[in-house]
């Protein structure tokens, strides 16, 4: 019998989840944020400008450790949300 243990030794590292698609229209991002809230996920919307075009990124987190971020990513994936796990630099 073989046992595997996931050892998340880097629990001081902080991660966030970014929904894969940035949205050009703020109400669409706010609607996505509301859908996530109904699932128990607290999201924020970040307004950014790239090449002169405004986008609205929906982010969830922060999470302490990769394991917690990945657990949330899997739950969101099961509900048809495409996310990207991002490590936050100190």
Comparing C-alpha atoms, which of 3, 22, 12 is closest to residue 66?
12
Q: Can you give the pLDDT at residue 9?
A: 53
Q: What is the pLDDT of residue 68?
A: 93
Closest CA to 66 of 88, 41, 43: 88
> Which pTM value belongs to this model?
0.77
Specify the pLDDT at position 1. Answer: 45
For residue 14, count CB atoms less than 10 angstroms from its CB and return exposed for 0-12, middle for 13-18, buried for 19 or more.
Answer: middle
**What does the pLDDT read at residue 40?**
92
Tens digits of pLDDT across the chain (90 residues): 444 444 555 467 999 999 977 788 889 999 999 999 999 999 999 999 999 999 999 999 999 999 999 999 999 999 999 999 999 886
């Amino acid at each position: 019998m073989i046992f595997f243990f996931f050892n998340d030794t880097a629990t001081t590292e902080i991660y966030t989840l970014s929904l894969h698609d940035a949205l050009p229209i703020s109400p669409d991002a706010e609607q996505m944020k509301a859908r996530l809230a109904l699932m128990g996920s607290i999201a924020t919307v970040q307004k950014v400008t790239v090449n002169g075009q405004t986008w609205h990124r929906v982010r969830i987190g922060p999470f302490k450790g990769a394991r917690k971020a990945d657990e949330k990513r899997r739950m969101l994936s099961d509900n048809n949300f495409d996310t990207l796990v991002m490590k936050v630099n100190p």
